[in-house]
Structure 1
Amino acid sequence: MRADTERVRAAWPVGWRRLRLADAGRWLSGGTPSTSNDAYWGGDIPWISGASMKDFHVSNSPRRLSMLGAKNGSRLVEPGTTLFVVRGMSLKSEFRIGVAERQVAFGQDVKALIPAEGIDPYFLAYAIRVRTPEILGMVEETSHGTGRLDTARLKELEIGIPPMDEQRRIVAVHGAFERRIGALEQVLSKLDVAREALSAQALSQSQGAGWRVSSLDEVATVAAGVTLGSEPVGEGTIELPYLRVANVLDGRIDTADVKSVRILQAQRERFALREGDLLLTEGGDLDKLGRGAVWDGRIDVCLYQNHVFRVRCGARMSPDFLALYTSSTEGRAYFQRVGKQTTNLASINSTQVKKMPVPVPPVEEQERLLGPIHAVRSRIAVIERHIAKLRVVQQGAVEDLLGGKASTPTQ
């Protein structure tokens, strides 16, 4: 998304209408039927909430209403209605918007906008979504810590409405990008399946192969990172980026949002990551305990916080092979078995990580088994980069079209 949203607000071409969102259609609020009335739930009508609305093409939800429920406490809308989230945790980082592709009901965390005559619903959704940076700036934090979008301000946003044939051409351009990206994402899905199969096959060879099993602390060192909350100040301190739990995902490290912390200069070596360090999370949902990935050194000097374990392998263990095992069914089962469960989350401690039993085949055998997996991962990385580039080109092209800075080709 481009930062200079002022471009989108510029004067639109001759023949385009300047329209406030308040006048772009009929605004509707949703609701939640009584959850104690079984007659309202379990029907065929998807009930869209802020949490369930994750796709632009809105057609399904884990929770469904009966027609009775939709008419008693919720709101029904027809295909072609624009839906967007106005309250929830997701608003702290993203603006969820989409178009209903079937009849749906929706909750109070979602607003609906039925396009006025002469406005294509997909064009309307794209024209709103392109203003995401500006819209996120309207989000306020509630007393419960969730985000709330100020819809009064949102209604004052102006968009440009071209003639219907131009709207449809813009939608078609966007759709062409989506089809190309969708085809690549299907290839990614197949490669992910292949990677999972190769990983399972590699670890299954431990049965009958005579591999030695050792506790993790026999083949690696385990350490926790920087404790946050009481940073030192003054001379002899240094501020450096660090990875927190949110950065350590299942199988990859996300550095899109990296924060910094101040530590003593003398602590730098203790908490600095090295390329090849395996990072594992300390807490979270029970089935996600010990999720992690191998650090690739993409940030020159980077620390890690105390809720992340750094596992540094010795000569007998490849970090990639160890990561393969910790994320396997057996590895997950170990963390779930020893994890401490509380009301909202589960956690593991460093002692439990150190005592984790891990298979230790000869290093050359580890590398042989990892070879096909690395090949598939390389293909996945190439396709992911291609998709990311297409997304950038798509965003730029659609922004130009929606701002009247470019014209769509005519047939």
Structure 2
Amino acid sequence: MRGELGAVGYPTVPLKHVLSKVETGWSPVCEPRLPAFDEWGVLKLSAVTSGTFIASEAKAFPRQLAPRPAYEVKAGDVLMSRANGVKALVGVACAVRDVRPRLLLPDLVFRLVPDPSVLNSDFLAIALASLGMRGQIDAVMRGTSGQYKISQADVRKLEVPRVPLREQRRIVAAHAAFERRIAGLQGVLRKLRVAEDALVLNALDKERVSRWERVRLDSVASVAAGVTLGSEPVGDGTVELPYLRVANVLDGRIDITDVKTVRIIRSSYERFALRKGDLLLTEGGDLDKLGRGAVWDGRLEECLHQNHVFRVRCGEHMSPDFLALYTSSAQGRSYFQSVGKQTTNLASINSTQVKQMQVPVPPREEQESMLRPIQSIRDRQLSMERQIAKLRTVQQGVVEDLLSGAVHLPVA
């Protein structure tokens, strides 16, 4: 591929010809805390996998060992994740601009040091996120049992567009202009989330909650487990339908990006079916995530839920949105953590414990009154998130055109 031209674009060159070096780091068993500023620390994989360098994602270096300063991360490095249980996070890269001293490179991360005479580090990070280079990374990735990885040899062979250094800097500047606009919107989004938290705290103020009648959850809602996966029925009278599993039920929202299907007997549909307004709560996970959930908005006309997701269907005295507000509050989380069964790796709750949960039941009109300003803030957040997603799409398209040479920026 080296030296080839696209329909419009720049020739490409293997990374090994434009890098000073590629290396991995070292991951001793660290202390489970952040390093103080004057201490050595080791970066965690999460410092890289967002695509943005996050220096705070680090652990304190063990005091009984001597650090290896050769692995200290420096401004100008490009870091790339070399292994992960999620394919999409293997090969994710970011440029290091400002970094505190005494942070070491871990062994699950590559350090790519560009030759500054031909390759800008910020440009390299942008290029590695492009569709063309992402496709190359996916093609050479290897993995079994949920652990995927790429090798140093794979990285050295990746083909990067050979763009003149001056043009690289202009592409970096264009990318940064989008980042500044997106950062501004993200700042507004953070303020809206703070405002939402304040409204929720006010709505569920302890003094206010103490005035409301408290009842068992199963007296104001029905609680049901979903379909159990395993041997599926076949033949006449069966139907294949989408279902929501724990991975789809997040804290405050339902993610249908990846929805699987299951075959059931058609006559059992109503037993497992979801309706718009059902509150979904997860059965297991980390102790602090027990009972996380969201209200189903009916985006899929026919949809089921798995047995590890509880369906809570409210009666006339309880708004599902108010109940979701309470189950996700500090009081609600405290209940789930107090009754959850803890094993080595996971915690879980059962349907009986969900049914026995004591919940406040203010008058329905009061529930709706409290929810209105909260929903208004959430609608604004959703609008802001859509604006950010649209900007990201435009940014990606512009960068792809610039990297291909289909578009050139005017010379200042």
TM-score (norm 1): 0.90
Cα shift at 1:49: 3.1
Q: Secondary structure at the match of 1:207?
A: helix
Q: CA contact under 8 A between 1:316 and 1:360: conserved in structure 2?
A: yes
Partner residue, 1:330: 331
Deviations along 1:162-219, one digit per CA (max 9) or x if unpaired, are 1111101100111111111111111111110110110111111663763111110000
Shift of the 127–92 alpha-carbon distance from structure 1 to 2, 3 Å rule, reads closer
Q: Using the alignment, how far apart are the partners of 1:35 and 1:203 within structure 2?
A: 40
Give the residue type in structure 2 aligned to 1:108.
D
Cα shift at 1:140: 2.3
Cα shift at 1:331: 0.3
Partner residue, 2:287: 286
Cα shift at 1:148: 1.5
Deviations along 1:310-352, one digit per CA (max 9) or x if unpaired, are 0000000000000000000100000000111111111000000
Deviations along 1:92-140, one digit per CA (max 9) or x if unpaired, are 5564211122254211111111001321001011111112244234332
Shift of the 225–137 alpha-carbon distance from structure 1 to 2, 3 Å rule, reads farther
Once the two structures are overlaid, the 10-residue window that deviates more, 216-225 or 230-239, is 230-239
Q: Does 1:18 align with 2:20?
A: no
Q: Using the alignment, how far apart are the partners of 2:233 and 2:264 within structure 1?
A: 6
Partner residue, 1:228: 229
* Structure 2 gap segments, 5+ residues each: none
Give the residue type in structure 2 aligned to 1:49.
K
Q: Using the alignment, how far apart are the partners of 2:47 and 2:166 within structure 1?
A: 33
Once the two structures are overlaid, the 10-residue window that deviates more, 244-253 or 54-63, is 54-63
Deviations along 1:246-268, one digit per CA (max 9) or x if unpaired, are 11000011111111111111122
Partner residue, 1:31: 26
Give the residue type in structure 2 aligned to 1:136.
D
Q: Using the alignment, how far apart are the partners of 1:126 and 1:76 within structure 2?
A: 23
Shift of the 203–368 alpha-carbon distance from structure 1 to 2, 3 Å rule, reads same
Q: CA contact under 8 A between 2:14 and 2:158: conserved in structure 1?
A: yes
Q: Using the alignment, how far apart are the partners of 2:207 and 2:220 within structure 1?
A: 17
Q: Using the alignment, how far apart are the partners of 2:47 and 2:163 within structure 1?
A: 32
Q: Secondary structure at the match of 1:408?
A: coil
Partner residue, 2:59: 63
Q: How much identity, in percent, do the aligned residues show?
A: 50
Partner residue, 2:142: 140
Q: Does 1:49 align with 2:51?
A: no
Give the residue type in structure 2 aligned to 1:19.
V
Shift of the 300–141 alpha-carbon distance from structure 1 to 2, 3 Å rule, reads same
Shift of the 269–66 alpha-carbon distance from structure 1 to 2, 3 Å rule, reads closer
Cα shift at 1:156: 2.2
Q: CA contact under 8 A between 2:24 and 2:110: conserved in structure 1?
A: yes
Q: CA contact under 8 A between 1:59 and 1:100: conserved in structure 2?
A: no
Q: CA contact under 8 A between 2:84 and 2:147: conserved in structure 1?
A: yes
Partner residue, 1:4: none
Once the two structures are overlaid, the 10-residue window that deviates more, 262-271 or 182-191, is 262-271
Q: Using the alignment, how far apart are the partners of 1:293 and 1:355 within structure 2?
A: 19
Give the residue type in structure 1 aligned to 2:120.
D
Q: Using the alignment, how far apart are the partners of 1:230 and 1:92 within structure 2?
A: 31
- Alignment length (residue pairs): 397
Give the residue type in structure 2 aligned to 1:248.
V
Cα shift at 1:233: 1.8
Q: 1:169-188 to 2 correspondence within 5 Å? A: 169-188=170-189
Q: Does 1:121 align with 2:118?
A: no
Q: CA contact under 8 A between 1:282 and 1:289: conserved in structure 2?
A: yes
93, 98, 101: which one aligns with 2:94: 98
* Structure 1 gap segments, 5+ residues each: 1-7
Partner residue, 2:306: 305
C-alpha RMSD over aligned residues: 2.4
Q: Secondary structure at the match of 1:406?
A: coil
Q: Secondary structure at the match of 1:192?
A: helix
Q: Using the alignment, how far apart are the partners of 2:199 and 2:54 within structure 1?
A: 34
Q: Using the alignment, how far apart are the partners of 1:229 and 1:357 within structure 2?
A: 34
Q: CA contact under 8 A between 1:9 and 1:158: conserved in structure 2?
A: no
Cα shift at 1:65: 4.0
Q: Using the alignment, how far apart are the partners of 1:301 and 1:311 within structure 2?
A: 17
Q: 1:305-384 to 2 correspondence within 5 Å? A: 305-384=306-385
Q: Secondary structure at the match of 1:63?
A: strand
Q: Using the alignment, how far apart are the partners of 1:302 and 1:152 within structure 2?
A: 46
Once the two structures are overlaid, the 10-residue window that deviates more, 398-407 or 92-101, is 92-101
Shift of the 307–66 alpha-carbon distance from structure 1 to 2, 3 Å rule, reads closer
Cα shift at 1:157: 2.3
Cα shift at 1:33: 3.6
Q: Does 1:408 align with 2:409?
A: yes
Q: CA contact under 8 A between 1:142 and 1:148: conserved in structure 2?
A: no
Q: Using the alignment, how far apart are the partners of 1:9 and 1:235 within structure 2?
A: 56
Q: CA contact under 8 A between 1:33 and 1:70: conserved in structure 2?
A: no
Q: Secondary structure at the match of 2:45?
A: coil
Q: CA contact under 8 A between 1:80 and 1:99: conserved in structure 2?
A: yes
Shift of the 77–196 alpha-carbon distance from structure 1 to 2, 3 Å rule, reads closer
Cα shift at 1:62: 2.6
TM-score (norm 2): 0.90
Give the residue type in structure 1 aligned to 2:240.
E
Q: Using the alignment, how far apart are the partners of 1:184 and 1:310 within structure 2?
A: 35
Shift of the 35–59 alpha-carbon distance from structure 1 to 2, 3 Å rule, reads closer
